Amino acid sequence: MKGYALLLLFFVSFSAYAQQTINNYKYVMVPERFSFSKEDNQYNLNSVAQSLLEEKGFSVYSDKTAIPKEIADNRCNALVAEITQKKNLFVTNLTLILKDCQGNIVFKSKEGKSREKEFAASYNLALRDAFTSLNDVPYSYTGPVRATAAVDSTPAAITTAAATPVTVTTATPVYPVTVPAAVTDTKQAAGTLYAQATANGYQLIDTSPKIVLTLFKTSAQDYFIANNGAAHGIVLKVNGEWQFEYYKDNKLVAEKLQIKF
């Protein structure tokens, strides 16, 4: 009977762990550099990952930003985001993994893929493809799972104790508020750019003609991954106007565009 009691205790502990989901976590830590990257925020992947997690509802931080006291006092209050790469000569394969402080996997995405030849676009598209797995998982922060009942390990208690009804009170979900980054520099459109369709988006050319900007389609309407050779960012509509947003010297720059599709 003692062995049976120990076995029961094991399954109670395992059941409590199995209930851990992303809903038990309010915070996610995103590293400055993923394991396969050669430099911090290479191809803007870390910033994109942080943005996509914030869109899901998490409060996201990195090791180089000030973190709330709740995380500083106990790192187990936050998940850690990892992006892993499966090497392939012709395909970029990336997977999102969310782990707890003990290294246990709480969430693992599908393998995001892209065959785009340009590295920055390929990595961004593969990352966004991996993140689509989060769309299938509803998220609302409910707080950590904690054991609330003790198990009497004596044989008599195991064989004769009757189940006691337990009243479960559901915590009110707390939804973090994501504050958009403030634009520190706005540039006016230099002239009309003409969009030429490509396999994965458009290339914008001026009257020279010269390719000024390359756009790559995403799953969102009027939202493109963009590259002008010197900066990587996004092109989107703001108040009915197109603009190219990117970071320069850690400041968000918005460059207005006149695009004729």
Reading the chain (261 residues) residue by residue, the pLDDT tens digits are: 545 444 444 444 433 344 579 999 999 999 999 999 999 999 999 999 999 999 999 999 988 888 999 998 999 999 999 999 998 888 999 999 999 999 999 999 999 999 998 888 899 999 999 999 998 899 999 887 654 444 444 444 444 444 555 554 555 555 454 456 677 777 787 788 888 888 888 988 887 778 888 999 988 888 999 988 888 899 998 888 899 998 888 788 889 999 988
pLDDT at 229: 81
Helices 45-56 and 119-131 pack at an angle, to 10 degrees, of 20
In a domain, 167, yes or no: no
Q: Residues 254, 195: one domain?
A: yes
In a domain, 153, yes or no: no
In a domain, 233, yes or no: yes
Using alpha carbons only, what angle is made at residue 129 by residues 115 and 103, rounded to the nearest 5 degrees? Answer: 115
Q: Residues 57, 123: one domain?
A: yes
Tokens of 27: 């915070």
In a domain, 155, yes or no: no
In a domain, 225, yes or no: yes
In a domain, 165, yes or no: no
CB 119 within 8 A of CB 102: no
Domain termination residue (choose one: 119, 136, 153): 136
Q: Residues 127, 200: one domain?
A: no
In a domain, 176, yes or no: no
Give phi and psi for 239, each to the nearest 5: 55, 40
Domain termination residue (choose one: 136, 170, 193): 136
Dmax (CA) for the chain in angstroms is 89
Q: Residues 110, 37: one domain?
A: yes
Query: Domain containing 85 — which CATH number?
Result: 3.40.50
Element housing 258 (H / E): strand 251-260
Q: Residues 28, 118: one domain?
A: yes
CB 192 within 8 A of CB 260: yes
AA letter at 196: Q
- Counted domains in the chain: 2
pLDDT at 165: 57
Q: Residues 40, 111: one domain?
A: yes
Q: Residues 194, 120: one domain?
A: no
pLDDT at 49: 93
What span, in angstroms and rounded, lies between the C-alpha atoms of 231 and 128? Answer: 19
Cα separations in angstroms, 114 against 71, 118, 120, 126, 225: 35, 10, 11, 5, 13
In a domain, 144, yes or no: no
Domain termination residue (choose one: 136, 163, 196): 136
CB 91 within 8 A of CB 110: no
- Domain limits for position 62: 20-136
Nearest to 120 by CA among 39, 54, 209, 31: 39
Residues near 179 by beta carbon (within 8 Å), at least 6 away in sequence: none
Q: Give rounded-to-5 percent helix, strand, coil for the chain.
A: 25, 35, 40
Q: Residues 25, 124: one domain?
A: yes
